[in-house]
Amino acid sequence: MRIAHVRELNGPAGAPWRLAAALGAGAATQPSPRRWLDLEVARRRIAMREPGRTHNSDLFRQPLTTLDGLLARGLRVAALAEIVEAAAAADPDPDDDAVLDAADLAFGPPILRPPSFRDFYAFEQHVRTMWERRGGEIPENWYRLPVFYFSNTSEIRGPGDPVWAPRGSSELDFELEVGALVDTPALDLATERAEEAIGGYFVLNDWSARDLQRDEMPVRMGPAKGKDFATSIGPWLVTPDELADARAPGATGPDLAMTASVRDPAGAVTAVSDGRWSAARYSFGEMLARASADVHVRAGEILGSGTAGSGCLLEVKDSTLRRWLQPGDTVSLAIERLGTLTAPIVERP
């Protein structure tokens, strides 16, 4: 399944997000599904048609508002398949008001208010480049431990939401990452089972102010203000079963392309990044096992993979864009099967 928060582009100001699922054969592999199912409208209709579902399934007893609300009820992302499958079996008419056209929709973050965000450091190419720039080598510890830092969840952005450089910064950068949503409470997970606690994956952009980060890091605390001003996620959540066939036995992740490009104010597009998810040294199972050691991980928390090799200007600026991001640019991060996450760069308000 692909699950998204949507609302009508021309709807009233302040309209709430609605939970939707991509419709149609091959929806999981389409770059951008055209038809989406309003899950609350579909839930009500199925419950009226089949009253027994209300008795047998908690999913049908209360309105569906957001994915955050679903997880707060103790339900997991996979539970939504019951609605999607029942609606698909009924073959909804394209004119049905439960069927939404993507051209009429704005998409929001796949999870609206994650309680926590741990960002890891899983791609060796990126780690090596960063250490070589400092004249050093990757610490031996990195090969033993999937390390992470906590970032800010108050500045989560969705697809198309603008981003700007924070106060005092002129070196705005993107970071191309895979994001994962934990959809069930967990504690002390074993590596071999930890991925069972992940409800889906999405594209993640861990924005960076490189000049602020450069000032902070020698103190060996952080990153802080160089990172906490924005994190973009989206454009939707893709459940793990849709990616299983792209993952070889024993691989750390699916063998899917990860790319980034920047369109400048004149419309010229520069390809910046070209990596693969399968190049990660650590799997999300290893990352989540580390995250859950001796602590409770809550439903709704998100993880980031860390930057893919070549996945930021700090690595490849001199050979690609030859400058930092500036107002008027549009950054597009794409991960095969997960979609494309786009953000315009604007002047700081």
Tens digit of each residue's pLDDT (9 = 90 or more) over 86-111: 988 766 666 688 999 999 999 999 99
pLDDT score for 328: 98
Q: Is the pLDDT of residue 318 over 80?
A: yes
pLDDT at 28 (0 to 100): 58
pLDDT digits (tens, 9 = 90+) for 273-288: 999 999 999 999 999 9
Identify whether the C-beta of residue 336 lies closer than 8 Å to the C-beta of residue 326: no
pLDDT for the residue numbered 131? 86
Measured CA to CA in angstroms, residue 163 lies from 47, 159, 208, 326, 342 at distances of: 41, 11, 11, 10, 10
* pLDDT given at position 32: 84
Mean pLDDT, residues 15-23 taken together: 96
Provide, for the chain, the percentages of residues in helix, strand and coil under a 3-state DSSP scheme, each rounded to the nearest 5: 30, 30, 45
Q: How high is the mean pLDDT of the chain?
A: 94
Return the axis-axis angle of helices 39-49 and 81-89, rounded to nearest 10°: 70
Q: What's this model's pTM, rounded to 2 decimal places?
A: 0.96
Report the pLDDT value the prediction gives residue 14, as an integer from 0 to 100: 86
Half-sphere exposure of 143 (CA within 13 A, CB side): 5
Residue 31 has pLDDT above 90, yes or no: no
Q: Residue range 133-138: average pLDDT?
A: 83
Give all domains of the chain, ordered by start, each with its CATH number: 2-107 (no CATH), 117-344 (3.90.850.10)
* Burial zone of 25 (CB within 10 Å; 0-12 exposed, 13-18 middle, 19+ buried): exposed
- The conformation of residue 165, written as its DSSP 8-state character, comes to P
Length of the chain equals 349
| pLDDT tens digit sequence for 212-240 | 999 988 887 778 899 999 999 999 999 99
* Nearest of 149, 292, 304, 264 to residue 216 by alpha carbon: 149
Q: Which tokens in the block code for residue 136?
A: 């050093």
Determine the 3-state secondary structure of 6 from DSSP.
strand
Q: Kindly report the CA angle at 238 between 46 and 316, in degrees rounded to 5?
A: 160
Compute the average pLDDT of residues 177-186: 98
